[in-house]
A = this chain, B = another copy of it.
Amino acid sequence: MTIGKEMYDLCAKLFPYCRSITGDGVRKTLHDLKAVVPEMTLHEVPSGTRVFDWTVPKEWRIRDAWIKNSKGEKVLDFHETNLRVMGYSLPLDEKMSLDELKKIIYTQPDQPDVIPYVTSYYKERSGFCMTQLEKDALPEDTYHAYIDSELFDGSLTYGEVILPGETDDEILLSTYDCHPSMANNELSGPAVSVYLAKWLKTLPHRHYTYRFVYIPETIGSITYMSQGDHLAHMKKHVKAGFNLSCVGDDRTYTYVASRYGDTLADRVAKNVLHFHYPKYEARSFLYRGSDERQYNAPGIELPVCAVCRSKYGEYPEYHTSKDDMGLISPSGLEGAYRAYQLMLEALEANRTYRVTCYGEPQLGKRGLYPTISQKGSYDGIKAMTDLITYADGRNDLIAISDRIGVPVHDLIPIAKKMLDAGLFEEVEE
């Protein structure tokens, strides 16, 4: 089975769970993710905990919800899809006219055939979701609206995987798990994330320590950073980070810059996408939308960007019932997985070298240079001589790759040859 298929099957299993920013849907999801990466630790932060400028909300539990007409027929049923209920809806058990009912039915008027994904985390209310067509077709009647839910002092749950490396320098990979039954904008991120962790565990050496976090969006990243010494530790150690989201479809790749677009994470993302996915799209931080908002916020300022496929907020199925298992695919997930592998491989190998001799080294005596000099005889070694030329202790491999137009992955074996020949030494930046 391809790894794409494995990730797809994981998404399919997780799809029906009714996730929210708190509650058992998240816990079940994390439980299944931990089955892929047993190193995952789970953490609970009680409702009411102050987290920076925010407060951890009450936990939400929902058991059932429906609307019946006067004949007792269900015209809406939570068990069909959990998108039918507005997230964090209060309990409700009330008969009402069509007009009253319509006030608590949410639709996406510009996409009349989709059920929108709607939440009201921070103001208490009740609501249902329908397609605009369904809502418009509701006849005059007396309806019975019912939600069996509760808000109570519980906790917010998050997962964390730390894979230690040879250094304390860290790569952060953050993804979220707070959306109910949607596929690309939810499950693709966690699925690719755990399989990346699984792959990283197989590496004989890891230069970086890897920090994976699995959190509800916004409140989760804020909560996570506010716990213990997380923020101070991350500000000190995280050298590059990525927000994983919407990494499951087969359309384009999209890079969303960090706040100033100039961090190591930006550099490696742009470099890898340029060489391997040259048609990728780029967005400035003005087009941010997910947890890169928190990681880049003033005062936090971690070097975090986002690499997704179709960008959240921009594809038509986003935050609707159409973001289903048909939108993502094994090949879409595997493509994103591979893109992240390429970025992480480039980061793992990224070093700054300096040539150890004055002038060009004599490559010929080391068997690295053509022994016959004739027009055209050096074409095959241009990447090598260009790499040597800029190995002056001021450019890391990514910078050299950008400058000389050769992928980092092609420079890695050359740099190794140079190191082995004693012609390169590593420079601490």
Taking residues whose C-beta sits less than 8 angstroms from the other chain, chain A's interface range is 35 or more
**0/1 string, A374-391, CB within 8 A of B gives 1:** 111000000000101111
Report A191-244 residues with CB < 8 Å from chain B CB.
218, 221-222, 225-226, 231
Q: Does A118 contact B (CB under 8 A)?
A: yes
For A374, give its contact among B116, B362, B374 (CB under 8 Å): B116
**0/1 string, A347-377, CB within 8 A of B gives 1:** 0000000110111111011000001111110
- Contact indicator A294/B359 (Cβ below 8 Å): yes
Q: Does A319 contact B (CB under 8 A)?
A: yes
Shortest distance between the CB of A425 and any CB in chain B (Å) = 11
Contacts A357-B299, A359-B300: A373 and B120 contacting too (C-beta < 8 A)? yes
- Contact indicator A108/B375 (Cβ below 8 Å): yes
- Contact indicator A293/B360 (Cβ below 8 Å): yes
For A375, give its contact among B319, B365, B390, B393 (CB under 8 Å): B319
Shortest distance between the CB of A107 and any CB in chain B (Å) = 10
Q: What's the Cα separation between A123 and B364 when bound, in Å?
A: 9
User: What is the chain B residue whose CB lies nearest that of A354?
Assistant: B298
Q: Does A296 contact B (CB under 8 A)?
A: yes
- Contact indicator B119/A298 (Cβ below 8 Å): no
- Contact indicator B404/A286 (Cβ below 8 Å): yes
- Specify the main secondary structure of chain A where it touches its partner: loop
Q: What's the Cα separation between A313 and B285 when bound, in Å?
A: 43
For A359, give its contact among B53, B55, B391 (CB under 8 Å): B53
On chain B, the residues within 8 Å of A318 by CB distance are 375
- Contact indicator B358/A52 (Cβ below 8 Å): yes
Q: What's the Cα separation between A172 and B53 when bound, in Å?
A: 42
- Contact indicator A118/B355 (Cβ below 8 Å): no
Q: Does A117 contact B (CB under 8 A)?
A: yes
Q: What's the Cα separation between A53 and B366 when bound, in Å?
A: 11
User: What is the chain B residue whose CB lies nearest that of A53?
Assistant: B357
Shortest distance between the CB of A242 and any CB in chain B (Å) = 18
Q: What's the Cα separation between A389 and B373 when bound, in Å?
A: 53
On chain B, the residues within 8 Å of A116 by CB distance are 374-375
Report A107-123 residues with CB < 8 Å from chain B CB.
108, 110, 116-123
Q: Does A392 contact B (CB under 8 A)?
A: yes
Q: Does A259 contact B (CB under 8 A)?
A: yes
Q: What's the Cα separation between A284 and B396 when bound, in Å?
A: 20
On chain B, the residues within 8 Å of A388 by CB distance are 298
Q: What's the Cα separation between A301 and B359 when bound, in Å?
A: 9
Q: Does A184 contact B (CB under 8 A)?
A: no
Q: Does A42 contact B (CB under 8 A)?
A: no
Q: Does A320 contact B (CB under 8 A)?
A: yes
Q: Does A297 contact B (CB under 8 A)?
A: yes
Q: Does A277 contact B (CB under 8 A)?
A: no
- Contact indicator B119/A297 (Cβ below 8 Å): no
On chain B, the residues within 8 Å of A390 by CB distance are 259, 298
- Contact indicator A360/B118 (Cβ below 8 Å): no
- Contact indicator A389/B53 (Cβ below 8 Å): no
Q: Does A143 contact B (CB under 8 A)?
A: no
A-B contact pairs, 6 of them (CB 8 A): A53-B357, A53-B423, A116-B375, A122-B364, A259-B390, A286-B405
Known: A288-B389, A298-B388. 12 other contacts (CB 8 A): A52-B357, A53-B357, A118-B373, A119-B374, A226-B358, A259-B392, A293-B389, A297-B360, A299-B355, A299-B359, A299-B392, A301-B392
Taking Cβ atoms with an 8 Å cutoff, the residues of A that contact B are 52-55, 86, 106, 108, 110, 116-123, 125, 127, 218, 221-222, 225-226, 231, 259, 285-286, 288, 293-294, 296-301, 313, 318-320, 354-355, 357-362, 364-365, 371-376, 386, 388-393, 404-405, 423
